[in-house]
Structure 1
Amino acid sequence: MSKTDTKKRWTAKEVEYIKTNATAISIKDMATKLGRSELSVQLYMLRHGIARHQQVKRNLLRELIGVKIDTAYFHPTKDFYRAVNINQVRFQQIWQGYRQATSDEMERVAHHLNFSREELLKFLFNRQLNLFDND
């Protein structure tokens, strides 16, 4: 039996359970409930961008990138990390919502994604308007 034969596919119900309980239940408890290993659950969450602890209220870098690219399909490469001068660990902390991007980091990403002046102004304007929302 090959390795691919022993892999258990994730069902929609399992994925929904993880997304719903990611911040409320420990990985160990989720793994037990799903009948999977802790490592399997942890890796699934990492690969699919499911954060354990959201710390920032708004993920501005994710919003900025979302203006140009559908964030569901955005997978940074080594060239991207080099071009924006953000290492992988720092970028993932920002992307997962554990840290907020600095203005310099936001500027470098915008420059790398070839934002026009109008796109940047529109993004900043919308960001300021949303500060007054009662969400």
Structure 2
Amino acid sequence: MTDTNSMDITVAGSEFIPHAPTRLLDTGDGTGAAGAQAVAPNGATRVKVGGSSGIPAGVTAVALNLTVTNAATDGHISAYPSGTERPNASNVNFVAGQTVPNLVIVPVGADGYVELANRSRGTVGLIADVTGYFTRSAASGSPRWT
């Protein structure tokens, strides 16, 4: 004789919501920035995610196609949630004159922003296109014990 027990469990999780590719930032034409201006050497720019382009406030992370353009020198870009310490990690590496894209998934700060830090000794142009986001939602599982 075999006994089987089952129990439904609801746990906190994140749900990925695809989003039509939408430009949130272009430092070349001023989209999402304070005018058309390259990011300064060792400087940073902010990208408004929560509450922008149909993305709800309170999202936990975002999928961005992050592109570096017109890099004056070699370097890398670090993407991180606003309100946190700038990491040493690299999300996009580049050399002078390159245009380099990379898909990144970045936590969103409590204020709805993501920071993009230029870790180089020259200016860079940045483009950020959203392709999806994560929301805090309930996930379910049904473990079975025999």
Q: Same fold (TM over 0.5)?
A: no
> Whose helix fraction is larger, Structure 1's or Structure 2's?
1
- TM bracket, shorter-chain basis: under 0.3
Larger Rg: 2
> TM-score, normalised to structure 2's length?
0.23
> Whose strand fraction is larger, Structure 1's or Structure 2's?
2
> TM-score, normalised to structure 1's length?
0.24
